[in-house]
Structure formats: structure tokens, C-alpha cells
Structure 1
Amino acid sequence: MSGLMVHAQDNQVDSLKKILLYQKEDTNRVKILNQLSSLTIKTPEAIEFAKEAVSLSEKISYPKGKALGLKNLGLYYFLKSDYIHAEEYWKPALQEYSSLKDESGKANILNNFGSINFQQGNSSRAMEYFMHSLESAQKANDTVRIATALNNVGIIYMAKPNTFDLAIDYLNKALHIAQLINDKPEMGVSYVNLGEIYYDKREDSASFYNLFKATEVFDPTDELLPYALNFIGKLYLRKGQKDLALNYLEEALKKSTEIGNKLYMAQSLNIIAQFYEDQDMHDKATVYFDKARMLAAEIKAGEELKKAYSGLSLTFSAKNDFRNAYKYSNLSALLADSLFKFAADSAQLKYTVGLKEKQIDILNKEKDLKDLDIKRQKIQKNGLMAGLGLIFIIVGILYRDYRNKVKTNTLLDHQKAEIEGLLLNILPAEVAHELQTEGQATPKYFDHAAVLFTDFKGFTKLADVLSPQELVAELNDCFMAFDDIIEKHKLEKIKTIGDSYMCAGGIPTPDPAATMNMIEASFDIIEYLKNWNAKRIEKGLAPWELRIGIHVGPLVAGVVGKKKYAYDIWGSTVNIASRMESAGEPGQVNVSSSVYDIIKHRYHCKYRGKISAKNIGEIDMYFVENQKIRQEDLVLFEDVSES
């Protein structure tokens, strides 16, 4: 999909260039130049377009075009982490927007200045810019800028554990606004930062949930995608799943390198370096820490530079190179002092901002009290006249309520039972109970869960020869039978997507037998379809051919939606199970090597080769053919051995 988008963008650039050849020197030419600059913002070509837009805008007295051209020039350098040149262009851009009284434009530039200061470790100045940006965005009623500013204020409050709750509040407000306007980049920002906070709070399930949601809404070329991948890698490290962790960390480094974001490159390098240091691979760790040091120093990223210094001090100490160990330890301490000063400034700013907010609250409360006093006087004036009438009305209502009390309670009990039944049809019992009692269902991380996908081969061709009613009726017959089978084997249906059926085992309650149960359910599904197809063939109808794929591994499960609840699962385990299904063959159960390791003592399996999976690498595949020992024989064997 991203390839198609890039191709479409290239076509748009080519078309605009052709128009530019014949466009005279007017405001339309400036607009085209600025549009070309935005479309090519990650390439040096963007500079030429933006500079021409600024120059022509000055010539024809078009301040709006000049402001946008200056903004694009600053953005090009910001994306290259060249903050000095970015500021040089954004300062006059801010002056232009201020002269135009363009609050939305001001909000944008103020936010950008805040981002520069935040990246350089100056949180106090960053907060000041973000609060001014929020003020301008609210004046302009610009929901996009409001969401951006709320997100960024939340990011500042993420710096200290004692302000985590404030951060979560701001980020959730930003997420709500972004969802209302379907702004996926801002949704992604909220999700990824909530994921980071929950990571720091050691609430891993909530962290996984938000980070995976971030990867879903981010475009593959989004600047923040590597940041989310880094944290997923760190979460897997905490879980002890080192291979998965390294895959995500290396993917984050690859993405940040492709995008050209040196800050996220430095972050990835630092985390990977720490990974190797923890494995006592000191030479490899030194290489990665040193790369992170050079990048962080180049872009003046204080926090990442401090991590690189500390890491180098540790690696050189482990290699008995105490001269270099002392050198980097000293550099780390000096940098820490500098960053501490910024943190102290930030604390003072937080107090000032909080004081202003309290002053506003007091003024609002005074106004509310005055309004309340006026209303009370009006009520006292008219109260005597209305009193008797009100008493008669209340008596009538009470009498009516008394007569209908039993009937109402019966109706409420019936409705409550219907709601509970409906929830149990949609959600697992444990999750439904939590939703009813707590008002929300917390996402949970499972170390070991089994996921099954089915899909009908050639379903599109079947759909072409059947009427809509026949197609849905026959598909419904199959899925109802699948529902009965997975319920029999204590599995959990997740959802159907077109002609694909998805279920899981070991959730929401962990079950050591989930994988075996899923294999048995798979054979029951194949047997059902075999009998069902036999009846179709007797009627002269074409059979339906089904592929089945299974994988076992870690995942996150939780409830999504606000008006229509859905219990869903996320993680690489789900993706690999889907790959197992698509790489399978009709009438066969195709499983990964992790499933094979669990079932090989009971089932004959046929090796099929390898398949490539994103962020994982190559995975072995097997067809499950038949049981080595029948279940009833296994029970008899156990009885004999016990006697």
C-alpha cells in the first residue's frame, strides 16, 4: 500500500511541475511551489521550491505564501535534526503569522519551537511553547493543532513519575479529539506515548495494547513508527523474549534510518547496545553505543547522549579499559548536571502554569456563585406561589410510581438478563463480568496463546456463481458449525472477516492444553466440511475447500470499541498464524515450528519448508497428518501404568 501511495505522490509532483512551467508569477505560482515543497519535504528539492516561494511572495507582497515557504524550509531541516537552521527559518515564519493574525499558523510554529527545545532536553522552554501553541489553537478553534498541543503537553508531564497521571489525562484528551476528526497521525502520537507511560508504570498489558494500536494507525513512513517499535522491543526484552525484542529493535533502526530521523536512530542504537551489553558482548555494545554517541552529539539530543556516555563507561569498564571508562563516566556526569538544571526550570514552569490554571478556576467559580445567587433569588420570589402545586404533583408522581413499582422492577430484571446474555454472546465471560463491574476491561498480555485462522480457497469465484442470499446462508451454516466445534474444545472465537474465521486458545484464561485442543478442533472442522461437501456433491454443487493455519506465542488481548464492543487480539503471533493459513493447502492443518514442538509426541507431522514472517525471520512449517496414539489408547495406557 505504501508503494502505491509513493507512486501516486510522485505522479502529483510531476503534474505540478508541468503546471509550474506555464504558470505566471502570481499567488497561484506561490501556492504550487509551496505544495511541491510539502510533497518533497524529505528531499533537497524541497529547499529550492520553498526558497522560490518565499522570494516570489516578497516580490508580489503575498505574506501568507511567504510564511508557508519559511515554515517548509524550517521543517526540512527539522526532519534532518538540524535544529539551528530550522529555527532560523521558523522565527521569521512566526513573525509573518503574527502579523497576519493567523492563530492556526502561530500554533503550528510555536509547537515546532517546543519540539526543538524538547528534543534538546530543555523541557521548561518546550512547555512554554506548547502552552502558547495550545492557546493559539483554541483561539483559532483548530482541532488538529489543539490535539497536537495537548499531546505535547502530555509528553512533557511524562518526564516525572509524579506527573504521570497528568500526562495520561492530557494524552487521553488529545486521543479523544484525534478520534473525533479521524486524525490517525495524532491518534498514533497519543497511543505511543500512553504506551511509554504504561511501560514506565510496569503495566505491560496496557503498554502492549497502546503500542500495537499505534503501529496500526501509523503510516509505514510515519516519523514516530520507529519510536513505537523501539518500545515494543523493550517490552519483549522485559518479558525475556530476546529474539522477538531484537527483531523489533532492528526494524526500528531500519525504519528510522530510512526516514532519516537521527534522534530515533540514536535511541535504537542505544537500546540495541544495551541489549548486547546485557549479553556480555562488550565489543559489539561499544560499537552501537559509539554510533549513538556521535548521532546524539550531532543533533544535541541530551538524554540520548547521556545514555551513550553511560553505556560506553560500562562497556570500557567491563573490558578493563579504565581510562576510557572514567572519561565517559565524567562526561555523563557533566551532562547530567546540565539536564538537571533544565528539569529544575521545568518544575518551576509547572508551578507557574498550575497557579494560572487555579486563578482561572477561582474566577470561574466566583462567576458561578453569582449566577447561582441570582437564580436563588428568583426561586425564592416565585417559590410560594408554585409550592402547593408542586406538592400535589409530587404526591401524584409518588402514587403512580408506587402502582408501577413491581411492573418496572420486573421489566428492569428482564432487560438486565438480556444485556448480560448479549454481552456473553459478544465477549468471554470473564471479560464481560469485568466490563459490567468495573466499567472497562483491561487489556492483558499472554505469554502463551494459540491462534487459528481458516479461509476458503477460491471464495471469490464461489461468490460470483451464488446469489447473495445463498452465499450468506451457506457461509453461516459453516461458521455456526465452527462455533459449536471450538466451544466443544474450550476455545474462544475472536471474529470472522469475510470468509475467514479466527479463534484463539489459552485466553482469557491460560490453558496448557489449548494447543492440543486447537489441533483436535481443526480435525473436527475438516471432518465436518468433508461431510458437508459430500452432500453438496450429491446435489451437483461444487465443494468448498478450506485452509487452516495455527501458531502459538505471546499476544495482547482486550476489548475495543465504545458503542459496539469487540474482543480482539494483537501481536506478531496473530500475523504468523495468518501466514500459516495463507501458506497452507485445502484440507490440511498447517502449523508453525512452535506448534510442532508441542504436538510432535502425539501427532505425525510432515515438514514443508520455511516461510518468511515480518519482524521474525524464517519459520519452519509442518502439515499435521494424524495421531501417533489415539486419545482413548492413551487413557488406557495411563490406567495400566498406574496399576
Structure 2
Amino acid sequence: ALAIHEELGDRRGVALITGNMGTVHKSTGNYPAALELYNRAQAIHEELGDRHGVARITGNMGTVHKSTGNYSAALELYHRTLAIFEELGDRRGVAIATGNIGIVHLSTGNYPAALEHCRRALAIHEELGNSSGVAQVTGNILTVLISSELYDDADALLQAMDALQIGDPAIVVQREHSRASLQEHHGNIDEARAILREALLIAQELTLVPEQAEFHKSLRDLALKQNDLAGYVEHNNEFTRITEEINGKEATLKMAMQEAERKMAKERNEHEKHLAILHSTLPKHIADRVSRGEVVNDHYDNASVIFLDIVGFTTLSEQLSSAEVVQLLESVFTALDNVCKNHDVVKIKTIGDSYMAVSFPHSVPRSPLATLGASVRNDNDPVPRFARNDNAHVFSSASAALDMLHAISHIASPTGSPIEVRLGVHCGAVTAGVIGKERLQYDVWGDTVNVASRMESTSLPGRIHVSEAFASLLSPSPSHLRERGANKTSEGNEGAPVIPSVSEENEGVPVIPSVSEEPGTWHLELRGETELKGKGLMTTYWLESVTL
């Protein structure tokens, strides 16, 4: 066609065909050839005084510079194009040039300016009834909204765009790229990858080279998020190859591999550091949830809370050096941590010399069949029948509390005096969650926690003070509760008055079965009614071990 126009001396026809040839090269990513042809066509249009032709070619040259990242040149060319179309009163041309200026602002990260120009262009296209222009600019606005992280607006606009009749496959490809970005934002990584792969096939069939590069870049980034080294290398290589062909640069596969490996290694190292920090501050199952991006905010209708406090620690610490105090607490808390681990009880925190732990429901506890002091369960032992009960957490916490007493009995202070502790246990509804931003902390809240703390503060040295609610679940049948003589207030119980029970002879009070009658290593002794701060009188019990 070009030869024919040249033979005929049709300069206008030559300019048009030359410009079209430049557009073909532009579409295939051969930008040097495109610019050469555009310059030739522009010269002819200027020679002929064809202002429309000059504006059109100038705009195409701006697109070439935009595609190669020369945004300042692109912006200058687009503004020149806009000025010509405004001078000519060409509303369609004004809309196109204005939209292109918006795209450049998008590429440079100036999203407010991008949104302003794209919306101005959309209004003109709608005014003109230009459906293809409306579809194209709508796609550009969708991209701006996603880049601006205005995802709700983007979701709504994508639904509106799906209702449009779009005949240009290039616009369809752009829309699908935006759809994939939204799916990625919503956490649907696999769906996003599938959309990108299908859109990439369309771009390859239509030889849309720049779009192919963008899809490979997006697929590469998704592979990085999923630690897919092979996928990362594959798409990074394709993105690099296409980009280098477009920009006329050269690079080797080895450099791409090394860069991919460095980025992947850095990502893995950062992820491992993050996990290490989480696991050092949170229980493992909670740390795993946090690392997956979950918001940990759980409610349990019934969980068992244990509080332990070292008796006379303030006085004892005054007799010790700082190093000895730290070493003593390290020994105590390490022993308690091991007990919690053996009984599927979660350590929550330590405050000074106090220790807090919780046994949650729906977890498999360690066997309470072992005698006191046998804190390590044989994994070959059958799981006790009550481990499948919803109240299994009560049995776990009872075993843990008894083993805590046993573990502490083997620890002596640097002065040689034995370490004594008080324990309190209560069960009920709790809320558990992770709080904090820089320093994460897993904690448990609720009235159950307050009552458990009161049980500990009103306990006695070397004893485990439990609530009636806990005792009832530990030995649910009425025949399991036995009074063994309530202790009246004494020097060792000063400040924690106990009201004597009705019968000193245990008349009419059921008896707890021994270990030979029912699985268990404990029995409950009725303490009586105990005054708890803020709670008034509550019936409480002592949890004691059974000596076999």
C-alpha cells in the first residue's frame, strides 16, 4: 500500500500508511522502528499542514516514550497534542489526550492528578457517546483506584465495567489485570494467578508485548509471595527479556537467576526472623495464626486458669543479689514451663514472681494417671477417657497444678531455704487474644481470671486453692465431694478467713473416690466459705494429691 501511494504521489496517503506502520511496530514493542516511522509521518503531515495528523502522530510518539519510561518526554508530547486538539475543537482528541496525560501521572505515582485527568476524559467520552473510549478510560480509572488502594471503589467500578460491551481485546486484557489485582488484595492468590495466566495468553495471541511484560511482572510478584522460586525465575526472566527488548538493553540469564535468588533468600530470611520473633513471644499455635495474618480474638465458654505465686519472695529477694534473683526466677519459671508443656497447658505470662497459665478446651491433655511427680507422660499410654470430654481442660489443669507443686519442691533458694508457692485455680468463660503492634502479647481476660487470681491470693503455702465451679467439673458427681474438716483462720491463713463447714464429722457429705475407684491423682478437701475480695463468700476446696 505504501509503494502504491508513493507511486501515485499521494503524500497524504503516504503519511497515513507510514503512521499506521509505526503503530504496528509500537503494538509489537519495536519502539525504535515505531519512532522512526512516526517521525517520518509527522514530517509529511507538517509539510501538508495537516494539524489533525500532526496531533495524532505526536500523541502516538508520546505513547512510545511512555512505554519506555521516558515520562517527561511523554508528558510534553501529550500536552502538545492536547493543545492542538483544543485549538481544533476536536472533543474526541481532547478526551484521548487528556486520558493519556492521566496515564502518565499514574505511571509516576501522582494518583490525584491521574484520577482528575481520567475522570475529565471519561466525562467527554460519555458526552460524545463514545463507548470504546468510555471502556478504555474506565479501565484506566480502575487501575488508578487500585494503585491508590481505594479497593471498595475499585470493586464497584469493576462491576460496572463488567456490564460494558467491550470490543477491544486490549481493554479486556487491562480489565482482567485489574481483576487479578483485586483478587490478590482480597487474599485469593490462586484465583489471581489463574486470571493473570488467562489474560497473558490473550496478550500473547494479540502480540501485545508491553502487556505481556506486565503480566509476567505480576505473576513474578505472586510467585515471590508464595516462595515459588521456580515460578519467580520463570516470570522474572520473561519480564526481563521483554523489557530489555523494548528498551534495547542486554542482560544474561545468570544475572536474573542471581537476582531472583537474592530476593528470595532475603524474603525467606525476613520471614524466618519474623517467625522467630513471634515464637519467642507467643505460644506456637498462636504465633502460627499471627504469621498467617489472622486476628487472634477468641472466646471460650469454659477454660481453666491457674495462678501461682512464690511465698515471701519480696523478703527473700532482699537477701539475694540481682544475679541470684534472676537465676532463681529462671529456675522456677523454667520448671513451670516444662510442666505446662507436659500437660497441654498454655503459659500466659509472668508478673514479678507470679505465674499465669490457662488450659483451654478442645485440646488433648497429658495423662493424669501418672502419680504425683511423674510429670512426663509416656506417649504410648492410652489417652484417658476424659480427654475426649469437653471438660478435659479441668483434668489437665488439675494435673498441672499438682505437678507444679512437685516441681517447685525440688528447687531451693540460694540461701538454702525451700521455695514455697501458693496456687489458685478457677474455670469459666474467658476471652483470649493478641494485643500490641511492636511487642505482641497473648493474654487472657475475663472475670474468670480475676477469680482465679483471688483463689491464689487466699491460698496457703504449698496448697492449691480451687473454686466450687472447678471442683464440680473435676468431680462432677455429687458423691465425689468430701469434707475433710475445714480449716479455721490461723496464722498461716491470716487475712484469708475460712468459715467452718456445717459438720466436723463429715455427716451427709459425699466422699471423693480414691484413685482405685476412678482415674485421677487427686482428691478435693472442702475448705468452706472463703471471703474473696470483690466477690464475697464463695465455697472453695483444696486440691490434693492421692498418695499411692
TM-score (ref. length: structure 1): 0.39
**Higher share in helix:** 1
Structure label with greater radius of gyration: 2
